[in-house]
Amino acid sequence: MLYLALYGLTVIVVILLQVLAAVQQVGLTTLVGNREGLVLTGLAGRMERAANNSLLALALVAPAVLITHLSDAADDLADQLMLTFLLSRIAYVALYALGIVWFRTVAWIIAFVCTALLYVDLIL
């Protein structure tokens, strides 16, 4: 549960960083508007995509962690998978922000596999 809480906090930080990057790019007046047709580029665009992907990853991993916790199925494997997930997701966001594509993809795959294995661990 601690790793899930830490990841939730990570997502909040990513969203905050995305907003700050967007303010730098287009200004606060534009951001408080309706944003129709707004296309963020560069760091702001990458952070927007990383934030969206982080929310999707949170939606996928949270049920597995909660079910694991509520069913008292937490074990060392689940703990290691969640730690690896957390570290991979942090690396993913940092690599995405920096525009480093191949390593970013590897970090995403590692986190995704950890999520899938959490579900597999519940079934087995």
Q: Can you give the pLDDT at residue 25?
A: 85
Does 104 or 32 have the greater pLDDT score?
104
Read off the pTM.
0.89
Say yes or no to pLDDT of 49 above 90. Answer: yes
Instruction: Tell me the H-state helices in the chain.
Output: 2-26, 28-31, 42-70, 76-98, 101-123
Tell how far CA 3 is from the center of its chain: 12
pLDDT band at 35 (very low <50, low <70, confident <90, very high): confident
Contact 122, 73 (CB under 8 A): yes
Contact 107, 54 (CB under 8 A): no
Q: Which residues, 6+ apart, have CB-to-CB distance to 93 below 8 Å?
A: 10, 14, 50, 54
